[in-house]
């Protein structure tokens, strides 16, 4: 596709980062297993693609060690964290130090692909890589969901404005019952 001659220039990376930091996303741990070892990272760039077939996407930085392991394994698991799992998010983001066993934090199991599954996650999506798209510094991994698990009533951990956040819950009385609203 040819680019129009009068196409505006993109904003600077610093301007983009300052603006996108205001976007609030759920916090996820992306995991894989390759040659008997487990690998994982914290991510917020995760989105549903379609229900038929069941697909989601994850954006993973190419410079990270886990990126290559996910691609080589051909599978990954998206573990959606709950509000009380911010410590796990920090450990998998590298804030626990380089020599820390990330999987020592949390209770881990497996589903179909063998990728690590966080037992107390709000939701998990076990995926095989259906396709990829190279986008500058990141690879967009499109995962075909082959297994799921979720816990109803567990609010997810959020990240926005450069900090962890929680949903603000508003309760309204009605007919003797309490409704949970956003």
Looking at domain 25-167, which CATH architecture does it have?
A: Roll (2.30)
Residue ranges in 64-131 assigned as alpha helix (H): 65-73, 86-92
Give the helix ranges, DSSP H, for the chain. 13-20, 65-73, 86-92
Domain-wise residue ranges, the chain: 25-167
pLDDT at 182: 46
pLDDT in tens, 3-36: 677 999 999 999 999 999 999 999 999 999 999 9
User: In the structure, what pLDDT confidence band is assigned to residue 98 with cuts at 50, 70 and 90?
Assistant: confident
34 vs 113: CA distance, rounded Å: 11
pLDDT at 174 over 60: no
91 conformational bin, left if phi > 0, alpha if psi -120 to 50, beta if neither: alpha
20: β partners: none
Can you tell me the distance from the alpha carbon of 72 to that of 56, in angstroms, rounded to the nearest whole number?
Answer: 19
pLDDT digit string, tens, across residues 144-172: 999 999 999 889 999 998 888 888 776 65
The encoded tokens of residue 111 equal 């589903």
State pLDDT tens for residues 43-78. Answer: 999 999 999 999 999 999 999 999 999 999 999 999
Q: Is this structure's pTM higher than 0.75?
A: yes
- Tokens coding 11: 């904003």
């Amino acid at each position: 596709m040819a680019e129009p001659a009068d196409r505006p220039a993109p904003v600077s990376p610093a301007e983009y980062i300052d603006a996108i930091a205001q976007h609030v996303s759920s916090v996820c741990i992306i995991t894989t297993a390759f040659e008997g070892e487990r690998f994982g990272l914290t991510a917020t760039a995760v989105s549903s693609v379609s229900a038929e077939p069941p697909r989601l996407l994850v954006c993973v930085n190419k410079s990270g060690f886990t990126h290559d392991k996910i691609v080589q394994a051909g599978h990954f698991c998206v573990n959606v964290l709950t509000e009380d799992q911010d410590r796990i998010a920090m450990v998998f983001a590298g804030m626990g130090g380089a020599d820390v066993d990330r999987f020592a934090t949390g209770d881990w199991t497996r589903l179909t692909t063998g990728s690590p599954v966080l037992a107390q996650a709000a939701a998990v999506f076990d995926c095989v890589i259906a396709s990829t798209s190279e986008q500058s510094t990141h690879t967009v991994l499109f995962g075909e969901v082959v297994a799921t698990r979720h816990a109803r009533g567990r609010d997810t951990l959020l990240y926005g404005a450069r900090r962890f956040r929680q949903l603000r819950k508003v309760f309204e009385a009605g007919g003797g019952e309490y409704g949970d609203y956003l």
